[in-house]
Structure 1
Amino acid sequence: MFGTSGIRGPVGEEVTADLALSVGRAVASEGATRIVVGRDPRVSGRLLADAAMAGAEECGADVIDLGMVATPTLARSVGWLDADAGIMVTASHNPTPDNGLKLWNPSGQAFDTDQREAISRRIESGDYELKRWDGIGSKSTQSDATDRHVEALVETIRRGADDGRAGDEDADDGSTDERVVNDRDADDGGEDGGNDEPLSGLTVVVDVGNGAGGLTADALAALGAHVLTLNAQPDGRFPGRPSEPTRENCRALCEFVAETDADLGIAHDGDADRMRAVTESGQFVQGDVQLALFARAVVSEGQRVAAPVNISLAVDDELEARGASLTRTRVGDVFVAERATEPDVVFGGESSGAWIWPDETLCPDGPLAACKLVALVAAAGSLDGLVSEIASYPLRRRSVELDDKYGAMARIEEAAVAEYADDRLTTTDGVHVAFDDGWFLVRASGTQPLIRLTAEARDEARTEELLDQAAGLIDGVR
């Protein structure tokens, strides 16, 4: 029932009001007495959120309706509002016909494997703690969750800027401050923050993707940036571009940034748990490069960064240079978040655009990532310059559509065991085969009827060769 990112599927087929009702019942029956519910702009969101709230109330839980919010806003609100759980109605970056539900803990962490299995068991068995008429829960609304999220982002970036200035003063050796920003006044008569704000002088284009991530523009403006927006009107049909912020889907953003004097571009998916970036020259930043930039900015010697098995060798290189290391997880932000609860893990992320700072929240927070990246650019002066510092190894991905993806994966694993030596093969999450000069991964998508192939090596020809080897495993079991 649960994929790597919650329950998702086509509305009216796999995802129905009946299913949402059951999820609400199950979460309340598992002991949650106070539940926060939110939704992204998808057309079916209101219906499904209403059903989930009805199910929770029916089993005695009090529910707080946040209305339309970003997923990280919902995840943060569970703790803010002293609730036991959160239910977010979203299909995140999936196509327009889909919707789904994702469940959250007060820590901001998504429900872990055991919690998801408990919910699934209740739904499959119909085991609910239904209440009599005088035991049903209540419903209230909360309208300031997004404003509170914006305030939290602004406080985080201001605190980071203050810490940086204090560090410069403590290390005063007579040198001058070499912090560089573009020599432009962000105050153009609008409502941008004053020039003493940490992001003053920067122009940022935010492509909201017709989703729920408009708070990013608000936070950046409050921090002094001059903000331009694309596709800012929430619309669950996603008329401006498809919800997933891929290179192809963000072509308009890349072109717009390149043709203006903007310092960078930011793109979100429908629920704003993902964030991707575009440099001032219009270059779409690879996810692994973004991960390396975030990781190296936060790690100290002996610390770890959590990322899935399909992450680039370039991340290892950046961490090793700083005495830190990479701990690999199963693919899926829920698994990255689980690893990020360990005390020496200071950051986690996926190349798809999910970024987690455990000291802030265990939810992938696209608006937080946007503000963090703009702050890095404010300090360095150029996102193109930052990107150029990260090694780029040829990494290729391919997807194969298969209805019986899990059956096919079982056959692929069997074939791989017969073909590759034990010291090269890992089957923790799909089939990962490592070589001295590269690796490939074959695994089933957690949300769509696809098998995904990834390969990386030190040169282009070897990367293509490894990707072909991966594809050969699929061809051999069809």
Structure 2
Amino acid sequence: MFGTSGVRGEVGGKVTAQLAFDVGRALASEGYERVVVGRDARESGQLLADAVSAGLRDCGADAVRAGVVATPTLARSVWQVDCDAGVEVTASHNPPTDNGLKLWDVTSRAFDRPKLDAVADRVGDGRFTPRSSSELGSEIAAPDLEANHRDALREATDLGGADGLGDGDGLDGEEGRDGANLSVVVDAGNGPGVLTADALRDLGCSVTTLNGERDGRLSGRPSEPTADHCADLRAIVARGDADFGVAHDGDADRTMAVTEDGEFVAGDVLLALFGRRYAEEGTRVAAPLNTSLAVDDALESVGASLTRTRVGDGYVADRLRDEGVVFGGEPSGAWIWPDEAHCPDGPLAACRLAELVAEEGPLSELVETVATYPTKRTSVRTDDKRGTMAGVADALADRHDELDTRDGVRVEVEDGWLLVRASGTQPLVRVTAEAETDDRASELFDEAVALVERVEGDERSASATSGATGR
């Protein structure tokens, strides 16, 4: 039921009010006595948050209602409001027709697999503990969680002269105080990421917001902050005098960036910049298996190293428990600083990017210091992800001596690598290849794609033959 980022899917299909109600009941039945419940701006969010609250109270737990807040705001707040767990109703970067539930523990970490499985098991077999009318839980209004988050961001960021007295009322184009004289464009994606604009103003930046109105239809742009989806942001920054731009997804746990020239910064490059700044000699940075070799090179330049995880910010956060791992991130835009919180925090990433630019110079020049490699990516549709991946693993094992099978199949060669892995949310197998030269990257990529397509074709043929025999 739960993937690496909770449960997510189309409303009325995979995600229903009944499911939300049952998750609330399961949490209360598992012994979580007080749970903070928030949501992003999606139109279905109010209904689903109401259902979670009702389920919690039905089984005796109190629901602390936070309203529309960013996922990192909710995750950070669990201990602040004296709760045992948190639920954010969000589909993150998915389209507005989707929604979902992310569960957080008191340490600001996403629920680990045993906790998720315990909730899923109760939902699956209906093992709930409903209470009598005298034992029902209560619904309580949360304090201003956004104000708490903004305070934390102000304390965590040093822009060298910002006095923290900006009024941060969220009006487009409002001048900040001094904040190293930085000017920033924030594309909030019609969600709670408008918090970032307020936080940067608190730090003294001059901020212009784009898609700053909270709109449950996500009408300004598709939620995932890709280069194509951020075309308006890129154009506005390029023709203005901003020092950089940032964009969030629907719940503001992801942040991507645009240089002062309007160029979209690749996720691997941003990971390299953050990693190089926050790692020191002998420390490590956590990132998934599909991370570029450019990050390894950037970390090596400061005496640090990369430790790779399965794909998913939950796996990155888990690795941050290890000694000496000081930062974690995903090229998709999830950035985690364990000294602040163990959840991806988009507003914090934007503030720390401001710090980086203020201290080290224009973002475009910083990007040029990261040596990149030719990288090829695609997705192949499949009717049987498990069968296709099994066939791919067998075939690659015949061709290569060593395979990393923690998440799909990753093969390292002397001058590059390839990764074939099943999508966690769609009927797709994703293929990535990277190498020192474009020709070599294409060779590895073509080999992997041809292999996936051949195995997928064999699976379809076998299925058709089986069906014909059955008739």
Change (3 A) 1:114 1:161: farther
Q: Match for residue 172 of structure 1?
A: none
RMSD: 1.7
Q: CA deviation at 1:412?
A: 2.1
> What letter is aligned with 1:342?
D
Q: Match for residue 41 of structure 2?
A: 41
> What letter is aligned with 2:177?
G
Change (3 A) 1:403 1:3: farther
Q: Match for residue 324 of structure 2?
A: 344
Aligned pairs for 1:196-275 (under 5 A) are 199-275=179-255
**Distance in 2 separating the partners of 1:288 and 1:45:** 32
- Residue 118 (str. 1) matches residue 118 (str. 2): yes
- Residue 453 (str. 1) matches residue 431 (str. 2): yes
**Distance in 2 separating the partners of 1:467 and 1:234:** 41
Aligned pairs for 1:408-427 (under 5 A) are 408-421=388-401, 423=402, 425-427=403-405
4+ residue runs of structure 1 moved beyond 6 angstroms?
A: none
CA offsets 1:6-28 (integer angstroms, 9 cap, x no match): 10111101000111111111111
**Distance in 2 separating the partners of 1:193 and 1:451:** 46
> What letter is aligned with 1:242?
P
Is the 1:25–1:59 contact (alpha carbons within 8 Å) kept by the matching residues of 2? yes
**Distance in 1 separating the partners of 2:228 and 2:377:** 14
Q: Match for residue 466 of structure 2?
A: none
- Residue 142 (str. 1) matches residue 120 (str. 2): no
- Residue 443 (str. 1) matches residue 426 (str. 2): no
> What letter is aligned with 1:329?
T
Aligned pairs for 1:74-93 (under 5 A) are 74-93=74-93
Which stretch shifts more, 281-290 or 314-323?
Answer: 314-323
- Residue 155 (str. 1) matches residue 155 (str. 2): yes
Q: 1:394 aligns with which of 366, 374, 380?
A: 374
**Distance in 1 separating the partners of 2:390 and 2:191:** 37
> What letter is aligned with 1:194?
R
- Residue 194 (str. 1) matches residue 172 (str. 2): no
> What letter is aligned with 1:396?
K
Q: Match for residue 165 of structure 1?
A: none
Which stretch shifts more, 344-353 or 449-458?
Answer: 449-458
Change (3 A) 1:142 1:317: same
Which stretch shifts more, 142-151 or 108-117?
Answer: 142-151
Is the 2:253–2:344 contact (alpha carbons within 8 Å) kept by the matching residues of 1? yes
Is the 1:67–1:143 contact (alpha carbons within 8 Å) kept by the matching residues of 2? no
> What letter is aligned with 2:389?
M
List alignment gaps of at least 5 residues for structure 1: 163-187
Q: Among the aligned pairs, what percent are the same residue?
A: 57
Question: SS at 2:455's partner residue?
Answer: coil
Is the 2:81–2:142 contact (alpha carbons within 8 Å) kept by the matching residues of 1? no
Is the 2:78–2:108 contact (alpha carbons within 8 Å) kept by the matching residues of 1? yes
Is the 1:8–1:99 contact (alpha carbons within 8 Å) kept by the matching residues of 2? yes
Is the 2:173–2:208 contact (alpha carbons within 8 Å) kept by the matching residues of 1? no
Aligned pairs for 1:283-432 (under 5 A) are 283-421=263-401, 423=402, 425-432=403-410
Q: How many correspondences in the alignment?
A: 448
Q: CA deviation at 1:415?
A: 2.5
Q: Match for residue 469 of structure 1?
A: 447
- Residue 2 (str. 1) matches residue 21 (str. 2): no
Is the 1:209–1:232 contact (alpha carbons within 8 Å) kept by the matching residues of 2? yes
Q: CA deviation at 1:193?
A: 4.0
Is the 2:334–2:344 contact (alpha carbons within 8 Å) kept by the matching residues of 1? yes
Aligned pairs for 1:99-114 (under 5 A) are 99-114=99-114
**Distance in 2 separating the partners of 1:357 and 1:250:** 25
Question: SS at 1:115's partner residue?
Answer: helix
> What letter is aligned with 1:470?
A
Q: Match for residue 30 of structure 1?
A: 30
Report the TM-score, using the length of structure 1 for normalisation: 0.91
**Distance in 2 separating the partners of 1:329 and 1:454:** 16
> What letter is aligned with 1:408?
T
Q: 1:282 aligns with which of 258, 262, 268?
A: 262
> What letter is aligned with 1:253?
L
Is the 2:176–2:207 contact (alpha carbons within 8 Å) kept by the matching residues of 1? no
Question: SS at 1:80's partner residue?
Answer: coil
Q: Match for residue 61 of structure 2?
A: 61
Is the 1:94–1:243 contact (alpha carbons within 8 Å) kept by the matching residues of 2? yes
Report the TM-score, using the length of structure 2 for normalisation: 0.92
> What letter is aligned with 1:346?
V
Q: CA deviation at 1:194?
A: 2.7
**Distance in 2 separating the partners of 1:363 and 1:454:** 26
Is the 1:200–1:226 contact (alpha carbons within 8 Å) kept by the matching residues of 2? no
Is the 2:380–2:453 contact (alpha carbons within 8 Å) kept by the matching residues of 1? no
Is the 2:66–2:141 contact (alpha carbons within 8 Å) kept by the matching residues of 1? yes
**Distance in 2 separating the partners of 1:85 and 1:130:** 19
Is the 2:109–2:342 contact (alpha carbons within 8 Å) kept by the matching residues of 1? yes
> What letter is aligned with 1:64?
V
**Distance in 1 separating the partners of 2:248 and 2:173:** 24
Q: CA deviation at 1:161?
A: 4.8
List alignment gaps of at least 5 residues for structure 2: 162-170, 457-471
Q: CA deviation at 1:249?
A: 0.4
